[in-house]
Amino acid sequence: MEIRVVLDQVEPPSGRLQVLSVSRRETGLGGGHGPEALVEFTGWLGLIRALEEVTGQGRTGTPGMR
Transcribe 15-46 into DSSP letters.
EEEEEE-HHHHHTT-TTTS--SEEEEEEHHHH
- Please name the residues in contact with 33: beta carbons below 8 A apart, sequence gap of 6 or more: 24
Q: What does the pLDDT average to over 33-47?
A: 86
pLDDT of amino acid 66: 46
pLDDT of amino acid 28: 56
pLDDT of amino acid 36: 80
pTM recorded for the entire structure: 0.64
